[in-house]
Structure 1
Amino acid sequence: MDNMDLEVLREAQAWMAQGHRVVLGTVVRTWGSAPRPVGALLALRDDGRLAGSVSGGCIEDDLVLRMREGRLAARGPERLRYGVSGEEAARFGLPCGGTVALVMEPLGLQSALDELLARLAAGERMQRRLSLADGRVQLQALAGEAPDGTWLDETAEDGRGSLVSTHGPSWRLLIIGAGQLGRYLAEMAVALGYAVSVCDPREEHAGGWPVVNAPLVPGMPDDVVLAMKPDAHTAIVALTHDPKLDDLALMEALASPAFYVGALGSALNQRKRQARLAEHFGLSAAQLARLHGPIGLRLGARTPPEIAVAILAEMTAVRYGAELPAGLQGRDALRLGQGLPAACQGLDA
């Protein structure tokens, strides 16, 4: 769930507290080129006001009309589909004949919205199960992974009459370094829906940390990384420029399943860092090749907020598997064995 969808739930809660009738729409399936992904949310209140989006606007116009006329989810949850025909797709502004399937849910005490938002505010990750027969909701806290090791991210009907959705941060970012760059990176990453934590044992840097949604974690970087148990939804970024701190984090991060590991520094410093990690910590050439550095896309960034943008842009590209032109890639790509001490060359992953 991204921050925009969380704001939709908060807006719906506020409208209900004001006495409005509110209907929550969830994208449950798409075909073709759809404007919003599965799981996207839209809240409508009885006077036609809305929050969120499920299309470019034309579907919302039809939903608002139904809401004002009292025809939307009047007796309980209902399914709607837009764009089944080419003519209808054109009418509702769906590109390339796309189709969007929605579940529209009238909100009330049975929806457990207050409890859901309270537990999300406490940092929990929640599974919400909506009965399509009577609109009742069951909530379950998630530890993060299913027994088979996959993340429970999908929004879908379960084949047993329920709509199951996952709420709360799916992606995590650990920042090593509470300096100015770390602050901008944390603020922007929170806005992108990451659960952000920061490690910096240096009191002169960590004192007065201003980002309340990105808590400081006590301890040395290697211990913090191990305690975090990085998985394929975790990014770890080292920004201190202090080898005694950055290297501790990187030696554990590069041996983990983290989808992104990066470190601040020039190409020369990166090669020196890779040599240290190989010689002193025994990291293999394949593990060292995972290190992104110089960190971030080559956007010409100079200021701390610009560098934060470049880092998050690279993280986003890696997260979605986007192929980037070589001129944009910031990393000093390491061929296996190249530039490493002789003792490390030829090591297996």
Structure 2
Amino acid sequence: MDSVDLEVLKSCDVWVKSGRRCELVTVIKTWGSSPRPEGSMLGICEDGRVVGSVSGGCIEDDLIARVQEHGITRIAPEIVTYGISADEAHRFGLPCGGTIQLAIEPLTDSSRIGELLDRLADHELTTRELDLVSGAVTLRKADAHAQLALTSEYLITVHGPRWRLLIIGAGQLSRFLASIAVGMDYQVIVCDPREEYRVGWQVDGVQVVHAMPDDLVLEMQLDSRSAVVALTHDPKLDDLALMEALKTEAFYVGAIGSRLNNAKRRERLTQFDVSEAQLAKLHGPVGLYIGSKTPAEIAISILAEMTAVKNKVQLPVGMRVEEAKTLAAQAASDAVCGI
């Protein structure tokens, strides 16, 4: 499963190589409320086919209608703004009078979409510098802090996996977790030294590594855009990896298991010279409480919590698995006691 933006680039590449005229539309800036964030992309083919989204509403309809009526006639990139007036905001479905600025770029062989896709296939974070006058494109290797930028002459967009997820354990749950994370534009690595688990384990776009998890954690040099989730239930594999991960800047470190096993794990980690502050970063039992039972539901629960942490959302008490089950147990005890 590709991320939406990667799907847009792949479709545009196919259209260009097949000789069809097409345009790439990119959200540059938004004011007020907007359904899609900056950097979101939409591809439009001359035959009216579209992929991706820049507004989730009538803006796409307007862009498509113009192509259907006039064809693709642009020969150079153009900056277009929707929603300046209240009437336009209502017409184009922009809530609260929002305004959205788009770059519309006619694509050709010189747009270097194929080369960009090759770089992304190698997990290279890349900036694409578009000359707004000539349409010329320059690709450069980017650092993790690169951001979309617009000047009077250039539009610079950032492409590639800006977030990394290391999954410890190649099991069924890992398969669902990895598949969804790839669709969310994570670079996903699955680590499992156990050959019997790795055999037959495969998810497109996911690297499977035969290494000791703690060694790989050190090798990856986890930063604030990295996450680690331990899923083996084997302390010999999970604990050592967690010990090293908790000492890094990883924005999320989690481990599956019951509340009892989680408590035992925390006790073991304190014996590995893990400080209280580092231990406080551990999410376990991992995930949000949504009544999940199947591997697919548990994967959604984990990624929901990861996303909340990544976006710095303060979750209400009782949303995390341990908190919810503790509150439920307390409520059941109070009911038995007649409280």
TM-score by length of 1: 0.88
1:130 aligns with 2:127: no
Q: Share of identical aligned residues, percent? A: 55
Deviation at 1:288, TM superposition (A): 0.3
**Structure 2 residue 119 is matched with structure 1 residue 155:** no
Match status 1:255 vs 2:247: yes
Counterparts of residues 103-252 of structure 1 (less than 5 Å): 103-142=103-142, 144-145=143-144, 151-152=145-146, 154-157=147-150, 159=151, 161-252=153-244
More helix by share: 2
Contact 1:73 1:104 in 2 (8 A): no
Could you list the runs of 4 or more consecutive aligned residues of structure 1 that deviate by over 6 angstroms after TM superposition?
Answer: none
Say if 1:70 and 1:134 are closer, same or farther in 2 by CA, change over 3 A.
Answer: farther
Q: Is the 8 A contact 1:262 1:292 kept in 2?
A: yes
Deviation at 1:141, TM superposition (A): 2.0
Partner of 1:276: 268
Q: How far apart are residue 64 of structure 1 and its match?
A: 2.0
Root mean square deviation, CA, Å: 1.7
The SS at the match of 1:235 is: strand
* In 1, Cα distance between equivalents of 2:56 and 2:226: 32
Cα distance in structure 2, aligned partners of 1:68 and 1:229: 50
Corresponding residue for residue 38 of structure 1: 38
Moved more, 65-74 or 201-210: 65-74
Q: Return the offset for 1:73.
A: 6.0
- In structure 1, the residue matched to 2:304 is 313
Does the CA contact (< 8 Å) of 1:46 and 1:68 recur in 2? yes
Counterpart CA distance in 1 for 2:37 and 2:234 is 41
Instruction: Return the offset for 1:168.
Output: 0.9
Q: State the 1:302 CA deviation.
A: 1.6
Segments of structure 1 that go 5 or more residues without pairing to the other structure are 146-150, 334-349
Q: Please say if residues 16 and 109 of structure 2, whose CA atoms lie closer than 8 Å, have aligned partners that are also in contact.
A: no
Q: For residues 178 and 280 of structure 2, what CA distance do their matches in structure 1 show?
A: 25
CA shift digits 1:139-165 (9 cap, x unpaired): 0123x43xxxxx21x2221x3511111
Q: Structure 1 pair 227/160, CA: closer, same or farther in 2 (3 Å)?
A: farther
TM-score after normalising by structure 2:
0.91
Question: 2:66 corresponds to which residue?
Answer: 66
Residue in structure 2 matched with residue 343 of structure 1 by the alignment: none
Kept in 2, the 8 Å contact 1:23–1:73? The answer is no
Unaligned runs of 5+ in 2: 325-339
